[in-house]
Chain A
């Protein structure tokens, strides 16, 4: 099937759906949520906040993975533009149960939710059930930590969650095949039909334009032709401009289908992440390899957010509260910027030029981020302090790294904090102070005392300035307690052990 370049195709209700934005006079940045809610048969999906914080709009998207099978991912449909699911299967709450003429055959996850009394008012329930469905498809006998991770993006104000956790632990213990497994061949065939064509989509409607390339070459070409287009990776930052600030996104360049930007490569010297790598892919990779990235990724947004948010997007925001930025700063990461026929590497430190400002040229895009691996004897830790541990934006984030001389003295210190200045920023004076010292309590305390003066925190809805200064100071002490002291509790990764 050729796609004329102006039509988005995906599988819904076991059929290929075609959306011709121009013909329907539909905005190309229509979210999946808005699209579903104006259909007759898909009102189960709910809007709760329009910002990916409540999960009432959770749906599951299935796409082909590199093993040639379907991979099921929960997403917040309020933040995902319809063209982003081109070539995928969209699964909603209405698709889980199978109706026979006389009865309704529930999906096992639905039965478990009923048996464990996991719903009260029912408004969060469709989203919860979809998160549970994705969990069911991806895990057998998951730990409590994995189960709760699947629901950090779903708020429920009624139940107190215990019943939902129990339903999940119960039903995922022995996940059986379901009608989705039975239909997999069929769906794969449909998806194959849609994605046989790699011509970029060019959607124009209601004064907006939406460009969606599938190859890096096309992406670079479109970038040079449309320097005014707003790049999106996962759109978790950008979509808010539309859903919360009511801004019309006039031109979008959507990189989410450019497979060439999705890779993780590690050799003995360095690690490189393609800009299109999602935070969830980063988390899974970093898990037992790169603890300093894992600890940050583990408390990044929610599973729904991590399933789409990209590393390129986090770097691209240059936000003072971008959680990957402090750790990438202390890793002295390089950002690879590409344009048609040219590429350059730039230290992240130089790439961030101001409050949410970067050195990205109008015809460039970020293709990857890479860094040299820290030595085995180096100490490196990352921290995030937020009002709520999960699915919250940092009040303060930090990465601290110490390198030692043969004599056991600190030979280099790299410290970066987020949330306490207009940009994520290194603490150069404290770094200087630490060089040549031994890593003991007195040094840590002295360094902690001088750190806050290097930053200019403000008071806002998340925390006040005084508390942020205390956090900055304390994180230095915490770093010491966890690397040299005795107390090793409270890492993100040992939650609920």
Chain B
């Protein structure tokens, strides 16, 4: 094994796999082998958006060279079902397909090439049915997955009657492809007594285990899921990694061979769900100062062909329709519509970005009509301590004003505004734009019972420690943080502790690593396990040191010592040996559930979030109004992460999340043709941000002195919130387009602001002149 040279250990702690990453030693599912036994899986998927299946002919494929098995729905021993929340997703289509990319048949072959060849030999005869691939049409034809829901506060009707100013509009926000670098992957190994070992790239091992068990008609205890690491996930492997696991397990079960399936990039893009596109209709009332009096929004979400997590995602959009602003009269309704597209799914932000984009548009428009700087209007409307959200949760630790003060200083906001204006006066075709946007993001799963986690910590006789927990590593640095939590609690250096692969046989019944809650939940569970171990070790230590059981102990620097007497300590290893000899258990489970969460769905009231994370960004862009090209000249971010467990990891989450958000707002555009075929099915046409699409000046500050009591090491979640700060880039682009008309008209604007859309909007602005 590799060993890093420790001589100049940089602080903070690097990612716990950094050495493996940079040397190419990190093992991903597709890097795993199994000698000559291994077969390669492939999925044959629907080439129609909506059709009856007349026949599936697998004869030719079966006869092809190297093919070991071809399976269809009839070959599923268990339930043909993999819907994560409601049973509306067949594992393999039977008599009907409802989206292009839906799995119909499976192939296992001796080589990847043979599997690929055989897939083209499966002949499916379709009888096409009318397909809905457009959200507008789904709404018009009343094709829905769920009925409407509502959350409201105050008296919206009355507020509009009395309002000085009212504005209304419709905002379209686009879909987004996760584009994890590692496509969906799974390897399944049949084991003795009919058990199944599943090596998966999943954010939710427990659910993957449950679905595999379900399709194989096995009890959960016969299926073990292990996740070493994912090559990115971003929500795309929260439910939809279950699919490939189920397919691979079916093949492994049928052939009794180990089988590995790794989706080809284009297939992954065509088969899997995306961030939900939304159509949002809004109406806002405000006064002459720009104070928001009422907001009335109808959110229409495109769920695709099955429900997946759409309800929770819509709910989060509804919870975030206020973003950072106190709106006394607010009504938000939402509905998930059904289209013949792959079921849309979790994506970093989980509905939050779609909701926040609406209210940020409203504020931006208020500022434009009042000819004021939008940052001022934002500040005016910020929540204050003691105010409650539209779902009735009181806010007590609002950090918006503090962040605003720091950010406007740090970015020299007023100077940037002046510079932007002067530049725009002097330039006809190149325009600059500027925007400041905040985020307030609720932390917790909004389905309250999901807020639980487990851990299993072993201390071995040599004093080395193994930490198992229910969270998965997808690059976000969770294992690094857990390592640090364990090291800090036990007072051990990182070399003495290993965080293992996530395994359902170590920690069962876990929730997905999602909702930014990985460190919050698992950190507390790890701490809980270690606290138990410490309470077992303490009496041994006290008796070894001949001190009273009332005397406090400090675990630090590999030693245990009476508080205030570090010189009198004994080595941790020695203590462990003694504990073992004294027949003390050196293994403990840990458990945590977030206290005090509830939400009453019918009333639309409750406390769904444990706390809120805050952040704020200023971005300045430059738009070439003749080509639609833009540059992000400057971005400044101040973000609240409580007391950071690892500033390098948090910085990486802020920057990476922000840039991913920039992609959603600008270059990432998903297009389906009217037959439901994804025309942007590879990176040739689907453009995520590259190295030159990041801000040219990119300064991120982690807000100081803002501990978050009641969480692990007083930290805050950081995975999702920064993504929404990319709306500063989006609205800065709008500001640049608005400058074409000298800020006299409201420019047409939607999301994403691609170069070709911006050219069209600029053209419309010019026509209005």
Chain A minimum-CB-distance residue to B646: A117
On chain A, the residues within 8 Å of B116 by CB distance are 246
Is B667 in the interface zone, CB < 8 Å from A? yes
Q: A470-B759, A474-B626 are known contacts. Are A125 and B655 too (CB-CB below 8 A)? A: no
Closest Cβ–Cβ distance, residue A78 to chain B (whole Å) = 10
- Measured CA separation A126–B31 after assembly (Å): 13
Chain A minimum-CB-distance residue to B627: A385
B684 in contact with A470 (CB, 8 Å): no
B667 in contact with A387 (CB, 8 Å): yes
Question: Which residues 462-491 of A have a CB within 8 angstroms of B?
Answer: 462-464, 466-468, 470-471, 474-475, 477-478, 481, 487, 489-490
Closest Cβ–Cβ distance, residue A196 to chain B (whole Å) = 33
A120 in contact with B4 (CB, 8 Å): no
Q: A123-B231, A161-B694, A390-B692 are known contacts. Are A470 and B763 too (CB-CB below 8 A)? A: yes
Question: Which residues 651-707 of B have a CB within 8 angstroms of A?
Answer: 651-652, 655-660, 667, 669, 671, 679-680, 682-685, 687-694, 696, 698
A152 in contact with B692 (CB, 8 Å): yes
B680 in contact with A162 (CB, 8 Å): no
What mask results when residues 46 to 60 of chain A are scored 1 for a CB within 8 Å of chain B, else 0?
111111011010000
- Measured CA separation A489–B630 after assembly (Å): 11
What mask results when residues 487 to 500 of chain B are scored 1 for a CB within 8 Å of chain A, else 0?
00000000000000
Contact of B756 among A118, A163, A395 (CB under 8 A): A395
On chain A, the residues within 8 Å of B760 by CB distance are 466-467, 470
A159 in contact with B656 (CB, 8 Å): yes
On chain A, the residues within 8 Å of B179 by CB distance are 155, 157
Closest Cβ–Cβ distance, residue B419 to chain A (whole Å) = 15
Which of A63-71, A90-98, A311-319 touches B?
A90-98
Is A122 in the interface zone, CB < 8 Å from B? yes
B685 in contact with A124 (CB, 8 Å): no
On chain A, the residues within 8 Å of B649 by CB distance are 117
Closest Cβ–Cβ distance, residue B3 to chain A (whole Å) = 6
Chain A minimum-CB-distance residue to B660: A157
Q: Give chain B's interface secondary structure class.
A: loop
- Measured CA separation A387–B669 after assembly (Å): 9
On chain A, the residues within 8 Å of B696 by CB distance are 496
Is A160 in the interface zone, CB < 8 Å from B? yes
B5 in contact with A157 (CB, 8 Å): no
Q: A158-B232, A163-B655 are known contacts. Are A122 and B26 too (CB-CB below 8 A)? A: yes
Q: Give chain A's interface secondary structure class.
A: loop
Is A383 in the interface zone, CB < 8 Å from B? yes
Q: Which of B21, B178, B232 has the most CB of A within 10 A?
A: B21
On chain B, the residues within 8 Å of A154 by CB distance are 691
Q: A462-B685, A471-B759 are known contacts. Are A49 and B265 too (CB-CB below 8 A)? A: yes
- Measured CA separation A460–B673 after assembly (Å): 9
On chain B, the residues within 8 Å of A464 by CB distance are 756
Is A327 in the interface zone, CB < 8 Å from B? no
Closest Cβ–Cβ distance, residue A391 to chain B (whole Å) = 6
A51 in contact with B687 (CB, 8 Å): no
What mask results when residues 1 to 26 of chain B are scored 1 for a CB within 8 Å of chain A, else 0?
01111000010001101111111111
Closest Cβ–Cβ distance, residue B33 to chain A (whole Å) = 8
B23 in contact with A93 (CB, 8 Å): yes
On chain A, the residues within 8 Å of B466 by CB distance are none
B232 in contact with A157 (CB, 8 Å): yes
A120 in contact with B475 (CB, 8 Å): yes
A385 in contact with B691 (CB, 8 Å): no
- Measured CA separation A106–B18 after assembly (Å): 12
Is B597 in the interface zone, CB < 8 Å from A? no
Is B438 in the interface zone, CB < 8 Å from A? no
On chain A, the residues within 8 Å of B684 by CB distance are 51, 53, 393
Is A104 in the interface zone, CB < 8 Å from B? yes
- Measured CA separation A468–B756 after assembly (Å): 8
Is A377 in the interface zone, CB < 8 Å from B? no
B683 in contact with A49 (CB, 8 Å): yes
Which of B327-335, B427-435, B564-572 touches A?
B427-435
On chain A, the residues within 8 Å of B474 by CB distance are 121
Is A291 in the interface zone, CB < 8 Å from B? no
Q: A54-B181, A496-B696 are known contacts. Are A160 and B627 too (CB-CB below 8 A)? A: no
On chain A, the residues within 8 Å of B657 by CB distance are 160
A48 in contact with B265 (CB, 8 Å): yes
Q: How many residues of A are in contact with the other chain, CB < 8 A?
A: 86
A155 in contact with B266 (CB, 8 Å): no
On chain A, the residues within 8 Å of B689 by CB distance are 160-161, 388
Q: A123-B231, A157-B232, A462-B685 are known contacts. Are A106 and B265 too (CB-CB below 8 A)? A: no
- Measured CA separation A427–B232 after assembly (Å): 47
Is B598 in the interface zone, CB < 8 Å from A? no
B22 in contact with A104 (CB, 8 Å): no
A477 in contact with B429 (CB, 8 Å): yes
Closest Cβ–Cβ distance, residue A29 to chain B (whole Å) = 12
Is A495 in the interface zone, CB < 8 Å from B? yes
On chain A, the residues within 8 Å of B182 by CB distance are 46, 48, 121, 123
Q: A106-B5, A246-B116 are known contacts. Are A477 and B24 too (CB-CB below 8 A)? A: no
What mask results when residues 144 to 182 of chain A are scored 1 for a CB within 8 Å of chain B, else 0?
000010011011111111111100000000000000000
Closest Cβ–Cβ distance, residue A273 to chain B (whole Å) = 26
A478 in contact with B429 (CB, 8 Å): yes
Question: Which residues 147-184 of B have a CB within 8 angstroms of A?
Answer: 178-182
On chain A, the residues within 8 Å of B667 by CB distance are 387-388
Chain A minimum-CB-distance residue to B427: A487
Is A44 in the interface zone, CB < 8 Å from B? yes
Q: Which of A45, A122, A124, A490 has the most CB of B within 10 A?
A: A122
Is A129 in the interface zone, CB < 8 Å from B? yes
Closest Cβ–Cβ distance, residue A447 to chain B (whole Å) = 14
Contact of A495 among B2, B27, B233, B692 (CB under 8 A): B692
Chain B minimum-CB-distance residue to A147: B691
- Measured CA separation A270–B477 after assembly (Å): 57
B10 in contact with A160 (CB, 8 Å): no
- Measured CA separation A369–B622 after assembly (Å): 37
Q: A49-B265, A158-B656, A478-B429 are known contacts. Are A117 and B626 too (CB-CB below 8 A)? A: no
Q: A120-B652, A246-B116, A388-B693 are known contacts. Are A110 and B687 too (CB-CB below 8 A)? A: no
On chain B, the residues within 8 Å of A460 by CB distance are 679
- Measured CA separation A490–B24 after assembly (Å): 38
Q: A117-B18, A160-B659 are known contacts. Are A94 and B427 too (CB-CB below 8 A)? A: no
On chain A, the residues within 8 Å of B680 by CB distance are 461
Q: A110-B23, A495-B692, A496-B696 are known contacts. Are A163 and B669 too (CB-CB below 8 A)? A: no
On chain B, the residues within 8 Å of A106 by CB distance are 4-5, 19, 22-23
Closest Cβ–Cβ distance, residue B422 to chain A (whole Å) = 15
Q: Which of A160, A165, A466 has the most CB of B within 10 A?
A: A160
Q: A157-B234, A165-B691 are known contacts. Are A125 and B21 too (CB-CB below 8 A)? A: yes
Question: Which residues 257-284 of B have a CB within 8 angstroms of A?
Answer: 264-266
Chain B minimum-CB-distance residue to A124: B181
A122 in contact with B624 (CB, 8 Å): no
On chain B, the residues within 8 Å of A388 by CB distance are 667, 687, 689-690, 693
Q: A51-B682, A461-B671, A467-B760 are known contacts. Are A92 and B24 too (CB-CB below 8 A)? A: yes
- Measured CA separation A496–B230 after assembly (Å): 33
Closest Cβ–Cβ distance, residue A306 to chain B (whole Å) = 15
Is A114 in the interface zone, CB < 8 Å from B? yes
Closest Cβ–Cβ distance, residue A309 to chain B (whole Å) = 15
B690 in contact with A122 (CB, 8 Å): no
Is B367 in the interface zone, CB < 8 Å from A? no
- Measured CA separation A383–B626 after assembly (Å): 11
Return the 10 tightest CB-CB contacts between A and B, nearest first.
A44-B24, A121-B475, A123-B231, A122-B21, A93-B24, A467-B756, A120-B475, A160-B659, A160-B655, A53-B683
Q: What are 7 sample pairs from A and B whose C-beta atoms fall under 8 A apart?
A: A118-B22, A120-B476, A156-B691, A157-B232, A388-B667, A467-B628, A487-B429
A residues sitting closer than 8 Å to B (CB atoms) are 43-51, 53-54, 56, 92-94, 96-97, 99, 102-106, 110, 113-115, 117-126, 129, 148, 151-152, 154-165, 244, 246, 383, 385-393, 395, 460-464, 466-468, 470-471, 474-475, 477-478, 481, 487, 489-490, 495-496
